[in-house]
Amino acid sequence: MTKLSVNINKIATLRNSRGHNVPDLIQVAKDCERFGAQGITVHPRPDERHIRYADVYDLKKVVTTEFNIEGNPREQKFIDLVLEVKPTQVTLVPDTDGQLTSDHGWDTVKHKTYLKEIISLFKSHGIRTSVFVDADLKMIEGAAGIDTDRIELYTELYAKNFHVNKDKAIQAFADAGVLAYECNLGLNAGHDLSLDNLKFFKENLPHLLEVSIGHALIYDALYFGLENTIMMYRRQLQ
């Protein structure tokens, strides 16, 4: 079964907007696990506009499922954080300064040497590694040469085109999934996956190990409630 990791960045954004501890990020993470989430994802950024670095240390003490930290490893502060916290998985994302949200994957060919070095560092500390990539076969092949454990497919393009032509929208991702499996790369996915498009995505990528979902899931929780929403997403992955 594909695991559901809940990204709680949006909970931190809401908390930070008032300057107090409401909602309580740590309690929400614990509740997500209690409601059926099989992992917790955070993506701290240098400006700490949502998840703060202190949050990551606090979460490490309470998360009992898989803990996934996303971020740009070119930030030394991020590297130090990951090595100290030792999450289940680190997902390397090529964010640029001031970027609103993740919007592209790594060029695994151009940055092969750097990625191989940083992946080796994290793996030497027993941390599973995943690299954020577009559904581009050249980038999948490149990922196979950097010794990463997994890749995470950037799925915005799929979500954007799903209601236009879902069969066409899924094709590049299905092809990427097949190649990743042939290259012995574990397969994750994330970005704009939702209750509308998740089931079809899962059906066409049979080797999908994990999805990381935040924005859509928190939006749905406003209407359906957090516990019910997590159960609804879990059902899409069965």
- pLDDT of res. 19: 86
Active-site amino acid positions: 43, 70, 191
How high does pLDDT run on average in the chain? 95
Residue burial 147-169, b: 16+ Cβ < 10 Å; e: rest: ebbbbbbbbbbbbeebeeebeeb
Which of 2-11, 37-46, 95-104, 125-134 has the lowest average pLDDT?
Answer: 95-104
- The pLDDT tens digits of the residues spanning 135-176 come to 999 999 999 999 999 999 999 999 999 999 999 999 999 999
Q: What is the mean pLDDT of residues 17-45?
A: 96
Q: Which of 32, 52, 27, 30 is nearest to 42 (CA)?
A: 52
Helix (H), strand (E) at residue 120: helix 112-124
pLDDT, tens digit (0-9, with 9 covering 90-100), for 184-210:
999 999 999 999 999 999 999 999 999
Given a cut of 80, is residue 94 above it in pLDDT? yes
Domain boundaries, the chain: 3-236
Strand pairing report for 128-133 and 89-92 = parallel
pTM over 0.85: yes
Let me know if domain 3-236 sits in CATH 3.40.50.300: no
